[in-house]
Amino acid sequence: MQLIYEKSRPGCRAITFDPLDVPTATMPPQLCRVSPASLPEVSELDVVRHFTNLSRRNFGVDSHFYPLGSCSMKYNPKLAEAVAAEPGFAGLHPHLSSDRAYLPQCQGALQLIYETERLLAEIGGMHQVSLQPIAGAHGELTGTLLIAAYHRARGHPKDTILIPDSAHGTNPASAAIAGFKVVEVPSNGDGTIHLNAFKGVLTASVAGVMLTCPNTHGLFEPDVRRICDLAHEVDALTYYDGANLNAIIGQCRPGDLGFDVMHFNLHKTFATPHGMGGPGAGPIGVGERLEPFLPGPRVVPRDDAYALEWPERSIGRIAAFFGNFMIAVRAYAYMLHLGAEGLKQVSEHAVLNANYVHARLKDVYLSAFPARFMHECVLSAAPQAKQGVRALDIAKALLDFGLHAPTVYFPLTVKESIMIEPTETESKATLDAFCDAMLQIAERVADDGQRLREAPTSTPVGRLDEVRAAKELNCAC
Partner 1 sequence: MSWISTSAAEQAEMLSVIGVTSMDDLFAAIPPELRSRSWDIPSGRSEMAVRDYLKSLAARNDSSRVSFLGGGFYDHFIPAAVDALAARSEFYTAYTPYQPECSQGTLQSIYEYQSAICRLTGLDFANASLYDGGTAVFEATTMAIRLTGRERVACHPSLNPLYRRMLETHLLNLKLEIVEGDNPEDSACVIVQNPDFRGTAADYTALGAQCHAAGALLIVSFYPISLGLLKTPGEMGADIAVAEGQSLGIPLNFGGPYLGVLATRRAHVRKMPGRLVAETSDAQGRRGFVLTLQAREQHIRREKAMSNICSNEALCALRALIYMTLLGREGLREVAQQCHSKAEYLKSQLPAASILNTGPTFNEFTVRLPRSAEDVVVRMAGRGYLAGLPLAALGVGGSNDLLIAVTEKRTRVQLDAFAQALEEECS
Q: Report the alpha-carbon distance of residue 163 to residue 413 in Å, rounded.
A: 14
Report if residue 217 touches partner 1, rule: CB under 8 A.
no
326 near partner 1, judged by CB under 8 A: yes
Nearer to partner 1 by C-beta: 137 or 202?
137
Q: Which of 117, 123, 128, 393 binds partner 1 (CB under 8 A)?
A: 123
Query: Between helices 325-361 and 428-444, what is the axis angle to 10°?
Result: 50
189 binds partner 1 (CB under 8 A): no
**Which of these ranges, 5-13, 195-203, 380-388, 442-450, lies near partner 1 under the rule CB under 8 A?**
5-13
Contacting range for partner 1; rule: CB under 8 A; set: 142-150, 232-240, 381-389, 443-451: 142-150
Helix (H) or strand (E) holding 199: helix 195-201
Q: Would you count residue 160 as binding partner 1 (CB under 8 A)? A: no
Pairing verdict, β 261-264 and 237-242: parallel
**C-alpha distance from residue 232 to each of 146, 203, 235 (Å):** 16, 11, 5
Q: Which stretch binds partner 1 (CB under 8 A): 371-379, 380-388, 413-421, 442-450?
A: 371-379
Q: Is 308 in the site for partner 1 (CB under 8 A)?
A: no
Handedness of CA 451, 452, 453, 457 (dihedral sign): positive
Of 195-203, 233-241, 267-275, 439-447, the segment contacting partner 1 by CB under 8 A is 267-275
Count residues binding partner 1 (CB under 8 A).
208
Helix or strand run (H / E) with residue 337: helix 325-361
Q: Applying CB under 8 A, which of residues 126, 135, 368, 445 lies at the interface with partner 1?
A: 135
Give the nearest distance from C-beta 110 to partner 1 in angstroms: 9
Phi, psi of 301 (to 5 degrees): -75, 125
Note whether 236 binds partner 1 by CB under 8 A: no
Dihedral sign from CA coordinates of 440, 73, 187, 369: negative
In the shown chain, the binding pattern of residues 80 to 109 toward partner 1, with x for contact by CB under 8 A and - for none, equals: -xxx--xxxxxxxxxxxxxxxxx--xxxxx
Q: Does 245 sit near partner 1 (CB under 8 A)?
A: no
Does position 370 interact with partner 1 (CB under 8 A)? The reply is no
Chain length of the chain:
477
Closest CB 424 distance from partner 1, rounded Å: 6
Minimum distance from residue 448 beta carbon to partner 1 (Å): 18
Residue 88 or 155 having the CB closest to partner 1: 88
Single-letter residue type at 125: G
109, 324 contact by CB (below 8 A): no
Restricted to residues 13-52, the positions that interact with partner 1 (CB under 8 A) are 13-17, 20-25, 27-28, 30-34, 36-42, 44, 47-48, 50-52
- Which is it for the CA torsion 315, 287, 283, 244, positive or negative? positive
One of 216, 355, 384, 417 touching partner 1 (CB under 8 A): 355
Is the Cβ–Cβ distance between 332 and 116 less than 8 Å? yes
Q: Is 302 in the site for partner 1 (CB under 8 A)?
A: no
∠ at Cα 298 (295, 302), nearest 5°?
A: 160
Torsional class of 401: left (φ above 0), alpha (ψ -120 to 50), beta (otherwise): alpha
Distance of closest approach, residue 140 Cβ to partner 1, in angstroms: 7
Residue 65 is a binding residue for partner 1 (CB under 8 A): no
Q: What is the largest CA-CA distance in the chain?
A: 77
What is the rounded distance in angstroms from the CA atom of residue 242 to the CA atom of residue 359? 26
279 lies in the binding site for partner 1 (CB under 8 A): yes
Restricting to residues 282-301, which ones interact with partner 1 according to CB under 8 A?
Answer: 295
In this structure, are strands 206-212 and 160-164 parallel, antiparallel, or unpaired?
Answer: parallel
Which of 65, 69, 71, 368 contacts partner 1 by CB under 8 A? Answer: 71
